[in-house]
Amino acid sequence: MAWSYRRQVTFPETDASGRVHFTSVLKWAEEAEHHFLAEKGIAVLTPEGGWPRVGVQCDYRLPFAFGDEFEVELVLAQMGRKSLRWSFRILNGSSDVAAEGEMTTVFVEQGEATEIPQAVRALLDK
């Protein structure tokens, strides 16, 4: 099931050409992930640890400019013992796929990849 998040391109997300800088798309996917986790009641970062990225892949299809509206569709594609694999699509205002990719995060406590707690798994399964 896809979870979606909408907003507009802000000026600092663009480069000298007036188009969105490629890293902004990855930040949007991460931002959507953080909103998803918060909605589920899962902390993104605690004093003990968090969910760092260990892999990211993205294909860029269409450009964005300042003020353009977009939607991030986020799917929890796979839950491993210690990791989550997310799929994302960034849709422009016309619902065309402008970018798509995947990112993998690991659950970390005290600087070490750790098994995802059962309570967190239960929240992700809801």
| CB-count burial class (<10 Å; 0-12, 13-18, 19+) for 24 | buried
pLDDT, position 126: 80
Q: What is the pLDDT of residues 65-82, one digit of tens each?
A: 999 999 999 999 999 999
Report the pLDDT value the prediction gives residue 2, as an integer from 0 to 100: 81
Q: Is the pLDDT of residue 35 over 80?
A: yes
Give the span between the Cα atoms of 70 and 9, in whole angstroms.
8
Q: Mean per-residue pLDDT for 87-116? A: 95
| Contact criterion met (CB below 8 Å) for 86 and 75 | yes
DSSP 8-state code for residue 84:
E
Q: Are 21 and 14 in contact (CB under 8 A)?
A: yes
Q: What's the pTM?
A: 0.91
**Per-chain mean pLDDT for the chain:** 94
The DSSP bridge partners found for residue 87 are 75, 102
Q: Is the pLDDT of residue 109 over 80?
A: yes
pLDDT higher than 90, residue 19: yes
